[in-house]
């Protein structure tokens, strides 16, 4: 780490992994083999904070990808529930409402994306010398 007399160490990498895996600082510090005070001190170092933020972002991105992979199964489940006569009517109505709401939101997002793309293209076209 520039300005702190030491470079980013393996222990610091372990501490970041431990922060991601454990619910609190004490458990993370214990897992990384350092004291909680050391972990708190490291978290004030800009390079450590940046690496931790990047690791959290990567973990979040992986979680979102897993959720996206599950959408097909979730949609199939909702669809089956709306058609299954053995499912209580209130549950079928709720499933159908969920399908309709999500479908409507998807259309709205597609419309916004199309409008944004058109605006970006118009902006680019207006910047070109004529």
Tens-binned pLDDT, residue by residue, of the chain (130 aa): 444 445 789 999 999 999 999 979 999 999 999 999 999 999 999 999 999 999 999 999 999 999 999 999 999 999 999 999 999 999 999 999 999 999 999 999 999 999 999 999 999 999 877 6
Do 32 and 24 contact (CB within 8 A), yes or no? no
Q: What is the pLDDT of residue 6?
A: 55
Q: Residue 106 and residue 53: Cα distance in Å, rounded?
A: 30
Q: What is the pLDDT of residue 106?
A: 93
For the chain, the structural domain boundaries read: 1-71, 84-130
Q: Residue 67 and residue 61: Cα distance in Å, rounded?
A: 10
Do 40 and 1 contact (CB within 8 A), yes or no? no
Radius of gyration for the chain, computed over Cα atoms and rounded to the nearest angstrom: 24
Q: What is the pLDDT of residue 12?
A: 95
- Residue 42: name the closest of 30, 29, 54, 31 by CA: 29
* Torsion angles phi and psi, residue 33, rounded to 5: 75, 30
Q: What is the pLDDT of residue 129?
A: 76
């Amino acid at each position: 780490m520039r300005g702190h007399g030491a470079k980013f160490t393996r222990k610091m990498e372990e501490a970041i992994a431990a922060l991601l895996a454990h619910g609190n600082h004490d458990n993370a510090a214990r897992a990384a083999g350092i004291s909680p005070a050391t972990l708190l001190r490291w978290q004030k170092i800009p390079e450590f904070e940046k690496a931790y933020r990047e690791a959290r972002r990567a973990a979040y991105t992986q979680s979102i990808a897993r959720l996206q992979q599950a959408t097909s199964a979730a949609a199939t489940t909702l669809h089956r529930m709306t058609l299954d006569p053995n499912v209580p009517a209130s549950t079928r109505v709720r499933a159908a409402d969920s399908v309709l709401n999500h479908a409507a939101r998807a259309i709205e997002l597609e419309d916004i994306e199309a409008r944004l793309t058109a605006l970006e293209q118009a902006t680019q076209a207006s910047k070109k010398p004529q």
